[in-house]
Amino acid sequence: MTLSSLWQDKDPLILASTSVTRLKLLQDIFIPVDPVGPDINERGIEEILQAENTHPAQIALALADAKAREVAKNNAGRWIVAADQTLALGAEQFHKPNSIEQAGAQLKKLRGQTHQLHSAFVCYRGEERRFAHVETAQLTMREFSDTFLTSYLNAAGSRVTHSVGAYQIEGLGIHLFEKIEGNHSTILGLPLIPLLAFLRDAGLVEA
């Protein structure tokens, strides 16, 4: 199957994101993509929702929706997908660490615990939302030693600041885990199975 026979729309799908991982997920399944970075204050939106005790899954959905709406303003009639992800350990929500030291402190909190990754996406056509979905993965970190943690942080370097969990599950981060329950693409931040189901139903991907 070629890319041209799989995708049915005349224009590529717009990905309202600067995420290299999400872009690669779509490219790897032969979906033509135009990435457009949304200009929104994610942390500002998140702080308001957290103050209202919004569930982390709904925060992920709200952030995805804000990204799509922003990009839709300048892309009339185009199909847009936007996604976001939150990480929660009980009532505590985590963010991308600002430094390797902060990543280490975060991983110590997650060590030996089961945390949740909530991955949400929305699909818009122009300024109209057509679909929204949230999936949750459960990830259990093993009781790794402080010595291992130091080795991991040294090996991973600044990459630990690129994701909300301070790990890349598709790389070195897998060493941190004892058990993982959830779809791989959900853990990476864009649940592909429900996304593709919607795209087929909408006639955008060959069924």
Q: How many structural domains are present in the chain?
A: 1
**Is the residue at 114 inside a domain?**
yes
The three-point CA angle 169-171-176 to 5° equals 55
Amino acid identity, position 195:
L
CA separation for the pair 205, 184 (Å, rounded) = 21
Range(s) of the domain holding residue 72: 3-201
**Tell me, what's the pLDDT at 129?**
97
Catalytic residue IDs:
84
- Confidence category of residue 136, pLDDT binned at 50, 70, 90: very high
- CA-wise closest residue to 165 among 53, 70, 156: 156
Nearest CA to 180 out of 133, 121, 119, 117 is that of: 117
Inside any domain, residue 190: yes
Say if 104 falls within a structural domain. Answer: yes
Q: Are 136 and 57 in contact (CB under 8 A)?
A: yes
State whether residue 139 is helix, strand or coil: strand
| 146-198 residue pLDDT tens | 999 999 999 999 999 988 889 988 889 999 999 999 999 999 999 999 999 99
CA 138, CA 187: separation in Å to the nearest integer?
9
* Percentage of residues of the chain with pLDDT beyond 70: 98
3-class DSSP state of 119:
strand
- Region of poorest pLDDT, from 19-33, 70-84, 156-170: 156-170
pLDDT grade, residue 52 (50/70/90)? very high
Within a domain: 207: no
Q: Is 153 helix (H, G, I), strand (E, B) or coil?
A: helix
Residue 131 in domain: yes
Q: How does the average pLDDT of the chain come out, rounded?
A: 94
Tens digits of per-residue pLDDT, 29-47?
999 999 999 999 988 999 9
Query: How sure is the predictor about 2, in pLDDT bands with cuts at 50, 70 and 90?
Result: low
Given a cut of 80, whether residue 3 has pLDDT beyond it is: no
Q: CATH number for the domain including 52? A: 3.90.950.10
Is residue 38 in some structural domain? yes
Which pTM was predicted? Answer: 0.91
pLDDT surpassing 90 at residue 4: no
**Displacement of CA 182 from its chain's centroid (Å):** 13
Smallest CA-to-CA distance from 83 within 133, 120, 118, 108 is with 120
Q: What average pLDDT does the segment 111-131 reach?
A: 97
In a domain, 106, yes or no: yes
Residue 206 inside a domain? The answer is: no
